[in-house]
Chains A and B, each alone.
Chain A
Amino acid sequence: MSKKILLVSRHAPYGSSTAREAIDVALAAAIYDQDIGILFMDDGVFQLLKDHQGKYINQKNIDSMLSALALYGIEKIYVHQESLDNRTITTNELILDDLQLLNSIDVGHLLSQQDQLLSF
């Protein structure tokens, strides 16, 4: 039976491997037909900015990898609105246009509805 799993990704890309690890877990779990969602919050929202050029620091582009989520059947992608606002990021600066924007109360509800939380 598939579990309802939410990955909570709260860290900026590249500075540590945390962001990348969340994506790897998402793609791997999707292969096993699990019910996966991803929430981007705090510095995690920086992962969603367009036009990364990771080659300058010998890294793969996180934004490119995130664009593949839909092909892996991961369609529930949530973003914490306040985290965007605090960083003066607007939604038209983001990759992926089917993001669901959530306020803090919505995030609380989302967390409480899961079978498993994975914190990154």
Chain B
Amino acid sequence: MSTLHTINKSPYAHNALSSCLKVCAMNDGILLLEDGVFGALISAPGAQELQILIKHGANVFALVNDIKARGLEEKVAPDIKLIDYNTFVQLTLDHRCVQSWY
């Protein structure tokens, strides 16, 4: 069973996302929320690693409310799935454990 990693800090200011990417397994899920959604930007630190993980089967999500709130909808990298709060809850059920990187 896989782990859901949640990241709530901007990759421009914190190592939460980069630490997660180091240990994340290919079948894990990554959810960007709060300031973590800045990690969904095409140009963000870690964006390339995220794309590589996605190509290898990992699921990367960003909370759409946090994306919209920050005016980032047009800047999100391809293949990052925008999800709402209900889907967030469902994800926590679909994964064995949740590790929050903050």
Chain A positions within 8 Å of B, measured between CB atoms, are 8, 10, 41-42, 80, 82, 104-105, 107-109, 111-112, 114-117, 119
CA distance A107 to B23 in the complex (A): 6
Question: Which residues on the B side are within 8 Å of A112 (C-beta)?
Answer: 1-3, 25, 28, 96
User: Is there an interface contact between B22 and A82, defined as CB atoms closer than 8 Å?
Assistant: yes
User: Is there an interface contact between A108 and B99, defined as CB atoms closer than 8 Å?
Assistant: no
User: Is there an interface contact between B19 and A119, defined as CB atoms closer than 8 Å?
Assistant: no
CA distance A28 to B77 in the complex (A): 43
Task: Name B27's closest neighbour in chain A (CB-CB).
Answer: A112
Q: How far is the CB of B59 from chain A (nearest CB, A)?
A: 15
Instruction: Kindly state the interface size class of chain B when it binds its partner.
Output: 10 to 19
Residue-wise interface mask of B (65-102) relative to A, using a CB-CB cutoff of 8 A (1 in contact, 0 not) = 00000000000000000000000000000001111111
Instruction: From the candidates A8, A42, A82, A109, name the one contacting B99 in the complex (CB within 8 A).
Output: A8
Residue-wise interface mask of B (1-23) relative to A, using a CB-CB cutoff of 8 A (1 in contact, 0 not) = 11100000000000100010011
User: Is there an interface contact between B99 and A117, defined as CB atoms closer than 8 Å?
Assistant: yes
Question: Which residues on the B side are within 8 Å of A42 (C-beta)?
Answer: 15, 19
User: Is there an interface contact between B99 and A119, defined as CB atoms closer than 8 Å?
Assistant: yes
Chain B positions within 8 Å of A, measured between CB atoms, are 1-3, 15, 19, 22-25, 28, 96-102
Q: How far is the CB of B1 from chain A (nearest CB, A)?
A: 7
Question: Which residues on the B side are within 8 Å of A109 (C-beta)?
Answer: 25
CA distance A8 to B97 in the complex (A): 12
User: Is there an interface contact between A10 and B1, defined as CB atoms closer than 8 Å?
Assistant: no
Task: Name B97's closest neighbour in chain A (CB-CB).
Answer: A117
Question: Which residues on the A side are within 8 Å of B1 (C-beta)?
Answer: 112
CA distance A80 to B18 in the complex (A): 14
Task: Name A114's closest neighbour in chain B (CB-CB).
Answer: B97
CA distance A104 to B23 in the complex (A): 5
Give 16 A-B pairs besides A104-B22, A117-B3 with Cβ atoms closer than 8 angstroms.
A10-B19, A41-B19, A80-B23, A104-B23, A105-B23, A111-B3, A111-B25, A112-B1, A112-B2, A112-B96, A114-B97, A115-B97, A116-B97, A117-B98, A119-B99, A119-B102
